[in-house]
Amino acid sequence: MTAASHHPTVTLRNGITLPALGMGTWRMGDDPAQRAHEIRSLQIGLDAGLRIIDTAEMYGHGRSESVIGEALRGRRDQAFLISKVLPQHASYRDMLTACERSLKHLGTEYLDLYLLHWRSSIPFNETLYAFETLRERGLIRDWGVSNFDTADMDELAELGAYPLVNQILYSLEYRGTEYDLLPRDERAHITNMAYCPIGQGGDLLHHPVLRAIAREHRTSLGHATPAQIALAWVLRRRNMIAIPKAATPHHQTINIVAQEIRLTQDDLAALDEAFPPPSCKDALAVI
């Protein structure tokens, strides 16, 4: 594999620089028979220099967090650990309880980043007070949001609140955020984090343009795959972190090697033609 120093990085507003490729964990822990593979996959990512591990209390009602806790045993300092609180737990008391529960599942004393999973009916001011309390108590280092569209981010800014990260659905299939949300967040020094950056294993990875571009690129493992091209396309953006899930060591290795790929201008033009960028505002896509 190429040297990690050549891999794309992102610097957060707080000055922390991280590899732009992280690790998602949605549905990890759901199948006990896969637990050992999931734990090893996360450890292989850490061994390769990946730092971001993203999870949520919603993922298996804490089972995903439990898998991560086992993977991080004895190496917590190597990870930039993120979890997300459900909107129904975004009140002051409930968020403190939810965070402590997540920390227990994860076997850690703090989160590097705690996100509101999506917009809540609870007033922002109360949620922000909870975030600040958790930070003052040392239970979280910083906070952010997930699935927030432009108007939501503007509302936070009116309160003087600037999340560190906005985690969103972003891939070749879902480019709507390029119209206004991505440039808006970048101007505000808010990093975007793409979940499902290579789709969900459906038609995207069989697209003839992706397959043709993959044949033109080689990695340390051989010819690139359509999934690696889709991931490299997301990683090409400034201010963008990608968190694909890899539930097996082999899959994790394939994701890691995708960092070697540098798409050409011809590649990007062909992908724009096959997956056109947005020409108008569209509702935020969510999975």
Quote the mean pLDDT of the chain: 95
> What is the rounded average pLDDT of the residues 213-222?
94
pLDDT digit string, tens, across residues 4-26: 557 899 999 999 999 999 999 99
Contacts of 272 by beta carbon, 8 Å cutoff, 6+ apart: none
Structure tokens at 280: 């108008």
- Name the least confident of 75-79, 107-111, 191-195, 281-285: 281-285
pLDDT digits (tens, 9 = 90+) for 47-106: 999 999 999 999 999 999 999 999 999 999 999 999 999 999 999 999 999 999 999 999
Residue 275: how many other CB atoms lie within 10 Å: 18
Only one residue has tokens 């958790």, namely 134
DSSP lists the bridge partners of residue 191 as: 165
Query: What pTM value is reported for the model?
Result: 0.95
